[in-house]
Structure 1
Amino acid sequence: MHAGVLIYTCNAELFLLLEYILETEGFPVRHCSNVSELVGTIGVRKPLAVLVDCSDRQLEAYGLCRRIKATSDRPPVAVLTNAPSNDLRSLGIDVVICSPYDPRHLLAFLKGIQMSLPCSSRADVSREQIFRHADIEMNVTRIRVMRNGHAVSLSALQFRLLLQLLKMPDVVHSRDDLIAAGWPPEAEVEPRTVDIHIGHIRRALNQFGPDVIRTVRSIGRRPKCLQLLDDQFA
């Protein structure tokens, strides 16, 4: 199944603007601010296209574009940049959009790709993946969490952690399980870091309902594990 459009940027405002524009036009998006996450997602989810923010030199986006084009899938790549660049064009980038960004150029690029796909693949682009538990709804395609009709604000990392819980609500999840789901394999994560992020998730969800995350202690050698409560919050 297509992952829609992968957007690589550390600019939260830019991502939210692009998310609104693209999803309004029927293109689900996924945010990636981590290179390992982006490259791994390309191989697994087969995106319709990748959008790379090259306006911030600190992102090392040029090197990332080379890595994307070197993958076996070689997805179409669009870049956002402050000024025209021969370096970018030499990398085989499909479209370069210069500031001030005109969303019509990006939409024309994406619609051209979509029209070139087989009909069955086009349907995959708009198919949404949704998980529900109790009064919580998580739309993976749109990267959105709702509870009792209210939008729940989570970071990308917290979204991945909650997704791990919602995918298997009856399973007791250890810290190691959550670390594997939330962080890249090479990351060194302290157990306390997991607890902090789970605390943020709890506070965000608890704004609109009772606590739904159960702390389970003394499971084997693991002193602390997590599980979702059932639909009645027993």
Structure 2
Amino acid sequence: MSRVKMLLVEDDASLAELLAYHFKREDFDVKHTPDGEEALLLAKEAAPDIVLLDWMVEGLSGIEVCRRLRRMPETANIPIIMLTARGEEEDRVRGLETGADDYVTKPFSPRELVARVGAVLRRVRPALAGEQLTYADIEMDTVGHKVRRGGELVALGPTEFRLLKHFLEHPGWVFSRERLLDAVWGHDSDIESRTVDVHIRRLRKAINNGDRADLIRTVRSAGYSLDTGV
């Protein structure tokens, strides 16, 4: 799979550096500018696969950059995630109506943003998201239905595979039993929530075989999370 090309439009230098670090670590090709006008030029010269766009940037505002990207034929279909300190519903609606695919309010966790970008790519451009999901030393081939940890094959049942896939798509997120039931078993499922605990135990046993570190974190009174704990 080719590297995902990201255009990061952010005028906070320290935040831009932090985000560039996290996305480059995930093998994104990141191009950064603090300026709205330059962002349009860069996007026109070489269309990125995704744009991370702050609302308040130098030159043109982020909302105007978003509007113009949607008007240009060569950039009209590029997924755009807006970053902003403006959390009011009216601002969120305005950003989405202008053409943003998602809207993330500051402050946010870089890991959450990486997961949100992955989710948008899977939804808007599934080919870019690839067939591999990875976290720490776990690798999942979603097409071949194979899971490896530390390079070794892990045998999983169908439910445990779906459960792990959901966690891999949302690393660091904490899910209640009810939300896991909806995501993995479906909204119409009449399975009891405690059944989730049984499948979590099976998943843990399978991926932690050989005294490996437990990557499934139990969050008291909240649920479960795929998390290294670092």
Per the normalisation by structure 2, the TM-score is 0.46
Greater relative contact order: 1 or 2 (C-alpha under 8 angstroms, separation 6 or more)? Answer: 1
Per the normalisation by structure 1, the TM-score is 0.45
